[in-house]
Structure 1
């Protein structure tokens, strides 16, 4: 729905002759060796959204092509996401770190959760008594992210919208709620089970 709205707004702006594109960050001129993947990671945007906004169905890029860069995830939110990844997935395989970040992004895009990374990470239940992510409650979220966690967060952003739709993850050895075991498992990576 969000992409359809951006396309509609863009179409209306073109028809009316306005040049300001709300929701779009920048224009970018493709250079030799660029890929959608590299550009998406540099701008903290999804490769799918980057291709959709620019009407590409193929990943073929030519130097000199002009791309519109969709709204990106802010550096502040990338940092928060990376700090959550470090706290939740320290000692887990790299793929598990990317999957933890993906859960947060999937929640942002899901109707049952808040609409920003900051709101998802800081979400509470039971009148604020229970945090959605334990590192927020125990202060681990405040520790600096390591470079691998930053890379995992950026990779999850670039892959946003691709995957199995996981909106939960848990460690079956430490999970304290039977409810989580009722969710459909999408994948298991390291000590974490991912589910929807």
Structure 2
């Protein structure tokens, strides 16, 4: 192998090690008495299944003092953006409705029908130029989210990948689109109907 190829191989291996995430790169957490995988996943805003998978676990047994690796999740800026949307969309709705709105955002990120990022989903525009979410259109997304909206986002992240797969929600009293009512309804929470 000539000298140029050796240098190129060494450089590409170095770059791949810097880019490829590993369990060692993940944050770590020392288990405290009374912790569960659920409380830890909710605290860090990561999916329960992701936490179990990252730590090669199939059961729920934990020991105080053991160290767990916390998988990477969405960024704090994305969590804040989601919380602001949840706050604006589900103000006055029950807590479960706030979690469901956050879940719709995550389900859209995971769906091939929508952009594959939180920012992309929240700021998506229709062919007519309108935003998918009215608080983006009217500016309400720019207001600070309350603690309950932030907690709802973390809970939705912990449950990510579970649930009924809702990718839409609407208020039947105010919805003007007949198309949305043709979607299969999954659940009604407060004033919102969720659908897929």
TM-score by length of 2: 0.84
User: What CA distance in whole angstroms lies between the structure 1 residues aligned with 2:190 and 2:86?
Assistant: 14
Gaps of 5+ in 2: 1-16
1:91–1:45 distance in 2 versus 1, CA, 3 Å: same
Gaps of 5+ in 1: 1-17
Which structure would you say has the larger Rg? Answer: 2
In the TM superposition, 1:30-49 aligns within 5 A as 30-49=31-50
Please tell me whether residue 22 in structure 1 is matched to residue 34 in structure 2.
Answer: no
Partner-residue secondary structure (3-state), 1:194 = strand
Q: Deviations over 1:87-127 (max 9, x none)?
A: 00011111101100000011111111111111111111116
Q: Which residue of 2 aligns with 1:181?
A: 181
In the TM superposition, 1:1-196 aligns within 5 A as 22=21, 25-126=26-127, 129-196=129-196
Equivalenced residues, count: 178
User: What CA distance in whole angstroms lies between the structure 2 residues aligned with 1:123 and 1:106?
Assistant: 14
Conserved 8 A contact 2:99-2:156: yes
Shift of 1:36: 1.1
User: What CA distance in whole angstroms lies between the structure 2 residues aligned with 1:107 and 1:65?
Assistant: 35
Shift of 1:19: 9.9
User: What CA distance in whole angstroms lies between the structure 2 residues aligned with 1:21 and 1:61?
Assistant: 28
